[in-house]
Structure 1
Amino acid sequence: MRRYIRALMLCMVFAVFSGLYVYSKLFYSDAPVGGNGPKRSFIPPRVTGASRGAGGGSIQSTPEPPMHLAVVACGERLEETLTMIKSAVLFSIKRLCLHIFAEDQLHASFMEALESWPGFIRSRFNYTVYSISFPSDNAAEWKKLFKPCQNIPIPYSIQNTEHPLYVDSDILFLQPVDQLWAFLSRFNSSQLAAMAPEHEEPRIAWYSRFARHPFYGTTGINSGVMLMNMTKMRNTFFKNDMTSVGLRWEELLMPLLQKYKLNITWGDQDLLNIIFHHNPEMLLEFPCQWNYRPDHCIYGSNCASAEEDGVYIMHGNRGVYHDHKQPAFRAVYEAIRKYSFGADPVTSLLDPLEEELLKTTHTYCGKSHALFTKKLAHSLANANRKAPRGR
């Protein structure tokens, strides 16, 4: 049920984006925005808000556009979200712009934690903390269907970006975000989003066995990591099973939810599967190593791309970072969470992690532990070269 609420995200993300896009193009500045007052769901450029910059720099320079990363955090997911952000900024090459949508009582905690990070890390990202709100249209219906804050969907007021990358809070980057961002250049003229399959093996896949609605391909798609081209999404008419004419994204979601609300289990992910079932040419699939979950190893290894090159992004869904059901996943999470910026990432993160992973080989996922550190070791070596020397 936690992820069900993200269906709202898909409605919210388009509600104001068209006007916001034009406005931001007129007033765009990549300089940081100062001030206080984090409880905003829309913070115009050059206006006091909850944004925090990535350190001072010449206002005359024009830095390379950042990569935009969006996440939603509610309840007890503060530390989990901070650990995800930590993994993103630790390895990434280009600067990040973080869009954190959180319950109001978490705003101060996010800002305090991020501002406490050392300067050489803070220089790698900007961030904005937003309040969570329901869209004004059909607000009563959304509130009836969803609890107030069970992973509220992708934020609809992300500023100054056409290409948001949404990730669940239980994501861990094991290599630079830049490598995933590069998939944007692979989009053809029809493709407007990129996601990984829900599973590799139809015989044990959830959708092929249990779904009561249309889904993409043979195993469905997983929405925990989703890269989007917002310009295309705003301007596209989507085929659907409700009308003979195409509907825009913001016109499609509520009718779709009304039709299938008794048949969907995973909220936004199910709606995305229905949409791309009817519009498969609009989706770019990236391999399972970019969204590696316990399902890929719990019954034996079944992610071929990870077998070959290692895990690129770990997705600890079903709370596996916080229980003992999948100790290999928990070990990776704990290693990154406990790592102190500035410490040697090999001796302080990789070596202790490999030692802990050796204790998990009694599980199927633990037997595949070499896949968890294959790409991570390379990323940490690069992070070590970027780290400042001395104190």
Structure 2
Amino acid sequence: MRRYLRVLFACAVLLFFSVLYVFNQLASSLETVNSGTGARAEGGPQRSARKTAGREGLGLGLGWRDRCKSLCVTHWNPYWRLPPDVCGKSCFMDSAFRSAVDKTLPGVSHVDRVEPVRLAVVACGPRLEETMTMLKSAVLFSQRALHFHIFAEDELHAGFRDSLESWPVRFHSKFNYTIYPITFPSDNAKEWKKLFKPCASQRLFLPLILSEVDSLLYVDTDILFLQPVEEIWNFLSQFNSSHMAAMAPEHEEPRIAWYNRFARHPYYGKTGVNSGVMLMNMTRIRAKHFRNDMTPVRLRWEDLLMPLLQKYKLNITWGDQDLLNIIFYHNPESLFVFPCHWNYRPDHCIYGSNCAAAEQHGVYILHGNRGVYHDEKQPAFRAVYDAIHKASGHSSPLQRRIPSHHTPQHPVVVFAPCRHTHRCRSLAGNKRPHHYTAKPHGRAVKSLVPLFRLGLAECKAASSMPILPIKINRRQ
């Protein structure tokens, strides 16, 4: 019994001293508040300056400090050593409250810390207009800030600069740009420049030229974005620790594919990859040592390119794209492959519809190789190109109908893949007011009005070639 009494006495003593300590701290805090302004005025300029630059300096003044009086505040602030502008009712609630106030302060400049999407293109010869149309499509559909890295021949620099500066002012806040000269290794500059198309092999040297850039999306000049650029940029977040680049397959159907039937060099996968749209983590490219079939020693990117060209230059047809296929044949773990509707080309339609992803989702990036933007072979491709090329950005029907917010689940544009000619004829006979039919033999194609939905057909009675209708849906 005595043992329990001793324990009870000890607990009572501890409780007494605890209560005494609490009241002592409470009295001290009340004295500090009563002394108030005078003590703070003598406290030195640094504290005063911090207050001014903090809550009071941002226009909150005493209202912020006195706001605790309107809450059911406990008297435990001295015990918890909370700052004067934090109420003791709920630290979690108070933190959330202060965060919400900070975000609405008129004097606070909130810097967008999201890095811009970096888009690179290489233009030589008569590619100025085509490149500008590609850049316009990127700006029209994207919400995220863009940075264009434009590699062009010297005589094109002024044209790019004048064209970009002539765009509407409201577009200027959406992008920055840098124009670079075409640069190849001095020892083999002529050989690299003439490989396949003029300047196309410049893309191989982007990781070395843009040494401070981490990631980059390279596209050919004949690309048109039908979805925000940031959508394909988001594939970077799906890279595993080995991936350093992403491309689409060259073909979906091996029976009509080029590489597995005609290539005289190694190539990636079953049908190779197409480098017209290439997403790169260039930091990883610069750091990796690549396996190759020239030496048992792995080579860095800058040491690999020239020996690879010397070995295969008599066997390659598509220039730098073939070299990339050879590299990723030996390093398949380094390549991320995205679906074909992110690089939709005439080859996906000429021999029948062979891009299942485009059948399901529509076309997200249009690649008008083979010059189809400038002839009558694929009128749907040309219709889209003309619509974007003619969009002024001021009040064009195309621009007015692009939604301000879009998601992968609700894409901006649904570009329907090819259908066969009997479907083409049925589409041509559709007289609903929101469908239009292209005129054959080069006659004008109507613009994407009035409902931002276009049904396109080029039907020739004697032709059995499948065509490519386009349907652009306006989301509600």
Q: TM-score, normalised by structure 2?
A: 0.62
2:469 is the alignment partner of 1:369:
yes
Any conservation in 2 of the 1:335–1:352 contact (CA below 8 Å)? Answer: no
2:311 is the alignment partner of 1:278:
no
Is the alpha carbon distance of 1:364 and 1:230 closer, same or farther for their aligned partners in structure 2, counting shifts above 3 Å?
Answer: farther
Decide which structure has the larger Cα Rg and report it. Answer: 2
Is the alpha carbon distance of 1:330 and 1:75 closer, same or farther for their aligned partners in structure 2, counting shifts above 3 Å?
Answer: same
1:144-200 superposed Cα distances (whole Å, 9 cap, x missing partner): x54994435224433642101000000000000010000000000111100000000
2:409 is the alignment partner of 1:360:
no
**3-state SS, counterpart of residue 325 of structure 2:** helix
2:265 is the alignment partner of 1:165:
no
Letter in 2 for 1:66: P
1:223-274 superposed Cα distances (whole Å, 9 cap, x missing partner): 0000001111111111111111211111111111111100000011100111
Is the alpha carbon distance of 1:107 and 1:152 closer, same or farther for their aligned partners in structure 2, counting shifts above 3 Å?
Answer: farther
Any conservation in 2 of the 1:327–1:366 contact (CA below 8 Å)? Answer: no
Distance apart, 1:140 and its partner CA: 5.9
Any conservation in 1 of the 2:134–2:221 contact (CA below 8 Å)? Answer: yes
C-alpha RMSD of matched pairs (Å): 2.5
Match of 1:213 in 2: 265
Distance apart, 1:70 and its partner CA: 0.2
2:151 is the alignment partner of 1:151:
no
2:247 is the alignment partner of 1:195:
yes
**3-state SS, counterpart of residue 351 of structure 1:** coil
Is the alpha carbon distance of 1:364 and 1:298 closer, same or farther for their aligned partners in structure 2, counting shifts above 3 Å?
Answer: farther
**3-state SS, counterpart of residue 153 of structure 1:** helix
Distance apart, 1:353 and its partner CA: 10
Any conservation in 1 of the 2:196–2:319 contact (CA below 8 Å)? Answer: no
Match of 2:226 in 1: 174
Letter in 2 for 1:369: P
Distance apart, 1:332 and its partner CA: 0.8
Is the alpha carbon distance of 1:364 and 1:111 closer, same or farther for their aligned partners in structure 2, counting shifts above 3 Å?
Answer: farther
2:83 is the alignment partner of 1:83:
no
**3-state SS, counterpart of residue 298 of structure 2:** coil
**3-state SS, counterpart of residue 76 of structure 1:** coil
Match of 1:92 in 2: 142
Any conservation in 1 of the 2:251–2:348 contact (CA below 8 Å)? Answer: yes
2:379 is the alignment partner of 1:327:
yes
Is the alpha carbon distance of 1:355 and 1:96 closer, same or farther for their aligned partners in structure 2, counting shifts above 3 Å?
Answer: closer
CA distance in 2, matches of 1:358, 1:93: 28
Q: 1:257 aligns with which of 309, 323, 331?
A: 309
1:344-384 superposed Cα distances (whole Å, 9 cap, x missing partner): 427785337978753425578874424x535xx45xx7xxx
Letter in 2 for 1:134: F
Q: 1:225 aligns with which of 277, 282, 289?
A: 277
- Which structure exhibits the higher relative contact order, with contacts defined as CA atoms closer than 8 Å and separated by 6 or more residues? 1
Match of 1:351 in 2: 449
Any conservation in 1 of the 2:351–2:466 contact (CA below 8 Å)? Answer: no
The runs of 5 or more residues in structure 2 that have no matched partner are: 1-107, 402-446
CA distance in 2, matches of 1:365, 1:133: 42
Query: Identity of aligned pairs, percent?
Result: 63
CA distance in 1, matches of 2:451, 2:160: 26
Is the alpha carbon distance of 1:62 and 1:290 closer, same or farther for their aligned partners in structure 2, counting shifts above 3 Å?
Answer: closer
Is the alpha carbon distance of 1:266 and 1:353 closer, same or farther for their aligned partners in structure 2, counting shifts above 3 Å?
Answer: farther
Distance apart, 1:329 and its partner CA: 0.7
